[in-house]
Amino acid sequence: MNKVIDIGQYIAIAVNWLTDNLKPFFDLIKNTGNTSILGLEWLLIATPFFVMIALFTALAWWKSGKGVALTTFLGLTLIYLMGFWTETMETLALVLVATVTALLISVPLGIWAAKNKFAAKIIRPLLDLMQTMPAFVYLIPAVLFFSIGKVPGAFATIIFAMPPAVRLTTLGIDGVPKDIVEAARSFGATNRQILFKVELPLATKTILAGINQTILLSLSMVVIAGMIAAGGLGERVLEGINNLDIGLGFESGLSVVILAIILDRITQGFVNKK
Amino acid sequence: MDKTRKVKVKVEDLTIVFGKQKKQALKLLDEGFSKKEILEKTACTIGINKANFEIHEGEFFVIMGLSGSGKSTLLRCLNRLNEPTSGKVFVNDEDITGKNNKELLEVRRTEMSMVFQKFGLLPHHTVLSNAAFGLEIRGEDKESREAKAQKALDIVGLNGFEQQLPAQLSGGMQQRVGLARALANDPEVLLMDEAFSALDPLIKAEMQDQLLELQDTLQKTIVFITHDLDEAIKLGDRIVIMKDGVIEQIGTAEDILTNPASDYVKAFVEKVDRKAIITAGSLMFEKPTVVRFKKDGPEGALRKMRASGIDILPVVDLHDHFFGFVHINEVIQSAKRKEPTVEAIIHANVPTVSKEVTVEEMLPLISEVRSPIAVVNEHNRLLGIVTQTSLIIEATKYNEEEIIELKEQANNQ
């Protein structure tokens, strides 16, 4: 069968046009992105490992209790002893920046979708697309816009990790009991007051669950981002695959898993405390 | 209702239409089409159809109807949580319907506060902070709003629960927080939407009593929504009965029970326990035949008894002051003895009541005497009499013929 419709051609044209015409814009993003990721990376690596382990263990203890604190302590120690500390901190920096950026976009977007039916109609299929499109595909425009490095890695990660936070924010706000919102309105609350004093506080738990999902999805994207030189554990995993080095592949993979478990348990601690 | 009191809330031709073709539906409504026809032609539902009423300052005004009757919609038009399609709402002679957003917020913040069926409390805030919520929205600083909220909590009897969360309280107490939140704003008008309907019967009765007690001192203008006629009667100075978005009747509980304006209202009020509502004033037989003391001797009394066919007559003086009753057999004896007055045979030791006494309260009085009950004013002047038969009819809901039949049956046995 011959190709009858060539959508790909138009997408390519659009992406090329964006690359040609919005170069200053992409450069600005790239520079800001690089500065923040590298800055955070430097901070995490410059801090002595035992201080980092102590900080994480304390945070886990505070939010999630003794068990998680112990897991955190043992897990991070194991990563350090396996020799993946620097890579893990690089990955952590990338995940944190990607997550924070994703949340800055997705929470307002989720609120908008909850408030505006028309917006919801556009946003929902977009989210479906973002979640189901094979994650590798994002790497192509990412590289075209930003060439290779950490920023395109973060870009692809943000797109892939954003949808659950948008969806759960919308769900959380839709789920606020109507009578409470009406009560606030009856006392003369403005839309802004209703959002900040009623809806967001009551939706916090659901929104936090969305943040948790975003963090985990970011981590799962890290290996893929390694393919475009985003650094960190992802690159070590790929190195293992390329050299058929099962030991390296397993150890770096295990480090990703440990980091994922720790971040998940700690953020879940935030959810359950609410 | 005291007509001299200021009109606080006035609703004029208020209509609300749900649906897209509002204008078309309004036009059809003006042309006299029925709700059903309008629904078929425009797919619009008439929520409220030309409601008109006035609520006076300090009045306890109850809007009552079954679910779907439009009562909650009507209430929400007063603070424009529901936007009226046409018609006007005045509060203190100011047109609420014409206000812009900012002015409307101001009205909601200062003039009207609302209490909700499901309470509408913030689950993550303490009782104190919930009670202060209206003031927080208004922008008052923490210290002053908490002081006012504390006062409101004291009024509703929640002293000591300030730091609890709503979920830690029972339903009745949660609604007290809702009431305190409304009172803390010190509004002129309280809107209460099925405020006690979610509570179990004992707590409900307790809350009703407490609200009435509060109203004695606070004298707010209260608009109260309920689907429970007993509640409406217990609380309301006046009651509006709504059906399908139309006001069927407005009046005091007694008006509605004694003069139902439509078959719907009639069917509704039939189920009510009338004993507690019908008073001597509405049940009494006005201008009864009386024996005028000194003017009428035993002979005169006898003549009046024959003329009216009544065996027992009240005795009053020239200024209608009530003395007691005389019975026919004793009047005959007295006439035979040729006594000049009926003084010796007056049964003075009989119960008298004022106009406001209810059937329920009068019933025990008739068990000890044979005479009717005299209704007198504060100067002991006779206003009328309540016969034992009419009391029993009211109390048992049998009509007169049925009672005669029952008596005959009893006699025949």
Give the closest of B117, B123, B133 to A187, CB-based: B133
Share of chain B above pLDDT 90, in %: 28
Instruction: Tell me what the mean pLDDT of segment B208-228 comes to.
Output: 91
Decide if pLDDT at B413 tops 70.
no
A204 occurs within a structural domain: yes
Phi, psi for B381 (deg, rounded to 5) = -90, 140
Give the closest of B81, B118, B121 to A186, CB-based: B81
In A, what residues contact B, Cβ < 8 A? 177, 179-180, 182-190, 193, 197-198, 201-202
Residue of B nearest to A202 (CA): B124
Interface test with A, best of B122, B140, B225 (most A CBs within 10 A): B122
Residue of A nearest to B134 (CA): A187
Please give the Cα distance from B349 to B128 (Å, whole number): 57
Residue of A nearest to B118 (CA): A179
User: B-chain residues within 8 Å CB-CB of A202?
Assistant: 122-124
Structure tokens at A189: 């609350």
The pLDDT value recorded for residue A119 is 92
What three-state secondary structure class fits A176? coil
Pick among 3.10.580.10, 1.10.940.10, 3.30.750.24, 3.30.43.10: CATH of B281-406: 3.10.580.10
A40 occurs within a structural domain: yes
Please give the Cα distance from A198 to A183 (Å, whole number): 10
Count of domains observed in chain A: 1
Interface test with B, best of A180, A182, A187 (most B CBs within 10 A): A187
The pLDDT value recorded for residue B145 is 92
What residues contact residue B203 under an 8 Å CB cut-off, 6+ apart? B170, B171, B172
Decide if pLDDT at B34 tops 60.
yes
The pLDDT value recorded for residue B409 is 67
Structure tokens at B267: 């069917």
User: A-chain residues within 8 Å CB-CB of B175?
Assistant: none
Round the CA-based radius of gyration of chain A to a whole number and report it: 21
Q: Could you tell me which of A193, A182, A200 has the C-alpha nearest to residue B135?
A: A193
A6 occurs within a structural domain: no
What would the pLDDT profile of B115-147 be if each residue is shown by its tens digit? 999 999 999 999 999 999 999 999 999 999 999
Q: Would you say the ipTM is above 0.90?
A: no
Residues of chain B with CATH 3.40.50.300: 7-111+187-272
Give the CATH number, domain containing residue A243: 1.10.3720.10
Please give the Cα distance from A39 to A33 (Å, whole number): 10
Residues of chain B with CATH 3.10.580.10: 281-406
**Cβ-based neighbour number of residue B302 at 10 Å:** 20
Interface test with B, best of A181, A185, A186, A198 (most B CBs within 10 A): A186
What would the pLDDT profile of B331-362 be if each residue is shown by its tens digit? 888 888 888 888 888 888 888 888 888 888 88
A245 occurs within a structural domain: yes
Give the closest of A183, A188, A198 to B105, CB-based: A188
Which residues of chain A register pLDDT less than 70? Answer: 1, 273-274
β-pairing, B322-327 vs B352-353, is: unpaired
Do A198 and B136 count as a contact with CB atoms less than 8 A apart?
A: no
The pLDDT value recorded for residue B270 is 75
Q: Domain limits at A240? A: 23-273
Q: Could you tell me which of B209, B248, B258 has the C-alpha nearest to residue B358?
A: B258
Strands (DSSP E) along chain A, which ranges? none
The pLDDT value recorded for residue B1 is 47
Structure tokens at A6: 């060539």
- Find tokens 């079954």 and name the residue: B66
Decide if pLDDT at B367 tops 60.
yes
What would the pLDDT profile of A170-212 be if each residue is shown by its tens digit? 999 999 999 999 999 999 999 999 999 999 999 999 999 998 9
How far is C-alpha A139 from the geometric centre of its chain's CA atoms? 15
Q: Which CATH class is domain B7-111+187-272?
A: alpha beta
Give the closest of A180, A182, A197 to B81, CB-based: A182
The pLDDT value recorded for residue A70 is 94
A154 occurs within a structural domain: yes
Give the closest of B122, B137, B191 to A188, CB-based: B137
Question: Shortest Cα distance from A203 to chain B (angstroms)?
Answer: 11
A141 occurs within a structural domain: yes
What residues contact residue B198 under an 8 Å CB cut-off, 6+ apart? B117, B118, B119, B171, B175
Residue of B nearest to A204 (CA): B124
